[in-house]
Amino acid sequence: MKLSKLLTLAVSILLSYQLAFADAAEGEQLYKANCTACHAINEKVVGPALKDVHKRRESAWLLKWIKNSQKLIASGDPVAVQVYKENNESPMTAFENLTDAQISSIVDYIKKESEAPAAPAVAATSPTAKVSADTNSSNGGGFYTSGTYYALLVMSLVLAIIVFVLYRIQKVVESLYEQKEPAAAAAEKAENVSWKNNRLSFRYKLFKKHPVVGTILVSLLFMVVFGLLGFDYGNKEIGVQKGYAPVQPINYSHELHAGTYKINCLYCHSGADKGKQASIPSASTCMNCHMHVQAKKEDGKVSPEIQKIYNAVGWDAEKRMYDPSKPKTPIKWVRIHNLPDHAYFNHAQHVKIGKVECQACHGPIETMKVVSQQRSLQMGWCINCHREANVDVANNDYYEKLHANLKTEGQASITVAQNGGLECGKCHY
């Protein structure tokens, strides 16, 4: 019996230990999933800072509060009423679905975090700040900033001036020499034969002996240089700019939002399944989350990138309200995917009806810290896809009618091209 008792004890200790271990892990998970939208450990977000909350409040009270704070307030609990008033009377979401054990695991996690040193906790809650630092280093500057342009311009001007001055000095010296020693100068001049008479010089061979070859060579050189420059420019002018990754006004990371947090593309680009434009989200859409997610830094300031959103919409992060006195300034994003004006492209046709993944045209967007143009967006590229892609006939009543005609001809499915997708007037009008 003793053995069995001992065994039971051992098992229970083990279990409790495991439970405690599970508590910490589960608590962290639950905390991150449910609380971080409004709370942080060390600072006030929407709700108060949670550091040492286990010391301030009794666990029974916490349990009631977390489950349904409004009920507690309504019951007239003085502490609850006070907390409610202190926090601008913004009600806390009720978590009736959480079990008592789960809530206590969250409290355990807060307890653990409260005892830990402050810095890591902050770092853990501000991934955005980290990312923005990364993007800054990877994307900062670049060769063609306007600063370098001006420096180059000034340098070439200085060089030109130097060349001019030297040339003048040489001329002055030469004329002085001629004045002082005319005989010697004349002799030297006669000796100094021009390349035009020097049959051995390369220039003579090229331009005097074979003028046609020379002209062609020089013209070719010019044409190649200017042609390449022109081609490059022309391509960019018509939007062929694969790899174009401009610096955006806000270091927004698709990797973080679409990759790590798996926010649906359509949440922000809400026009993509409705009409022509996928549409860049308005700043107010950003605010839906970033009203709460501030990614504060060590110094307690809002992440500078998120602050840019606040500046755009006139949001006062301190008072947590829109400040009508602040000017509203729209964010000037740089367009990356530019189709020429004469090409009509409709997102809804491709996203909603064609069921084309966003990545098919935009590349692995969920891995991009900085968005770059991944496809050439040239007509040939469009056409290729139209040749290969099938029309989803069966799932759309509109196509079914067309399909009915084709069925008699023994075709099971049709490609976009067979549906007229290669015709000029489908995209150009």
Site residues, other proteins (CB under 8 A): 144, 222, 226, 229-230, 232-233, 236-237, 241, 244, 246, 270-271, 274-277, 279-285, 312-313, 328-335, 338, 340-342, 344, 346-349, 352-353, 396-402, 405-406, 419-420, 423-426, 428-429
Nearer to other proteins, 107 or 268 (CB): 268
Nearer to other proteins, 40 or 272 (CB): 272
Nearer to other proteins, 5 or 332 (CB): 332
**Stated length of the chain:** 429
Strand partners, 289: none
> What is the nearest approach in angstroms of other proteins to the Cβ of residue 39?
27
> What is the nearest approach in angstroms of other proteins to the Cβ of residue 73?
32
Nearer to other proteins, 191 or 341 (CB): 341
Residue type, 190: A
> What is the nearest approach in angstroms of other proteins to the Cβ of residue 370?
15
> What is the nearest approach in angstroms of other proteins to the Cβ of residue 398?
5
Nearer to other proteins, 87 or 349 (CB): 349
Closest CA to 251 of 89, 149, 140, 144: 140
Distance of alpha carbon 418 from alpha carbon 129, whole angstroms: 50
Nearer to other proteins, 50 or 313 (CB): 313
**What is the Cα Rg of the chain in Å?**
36
Distance of alpha carbon 283 from alpha carbon 308, whole angstroms: 10
> What is the nearest approach in angstroms of other proteins to the Cβ of residue 277?
4
> What is the nearest approach in angstroms of other proteins to the Cβ of residue 368?
17
**CA trace torsion 221, 223, 229, 231 (10° rounding):** -140
Distance of alpha carbon 23 from alpha carbon 16, whole angstroms: 10
Nearer to other proteins, 63 or 417 (CB): 417
Distance of alpha carbon 112 from alpha carbon 65, whole angstroms: 20
| Torsion over CA: 231, 236, 242, 247 (sign) | positive
Phi, psi of 142 (to 5 degrees): 90, 160
DSSP state of 317: T
Strand partners, 315: 322
> What is the nearest approach in angstroms of other proteins to the Cβ of residue 367?
22
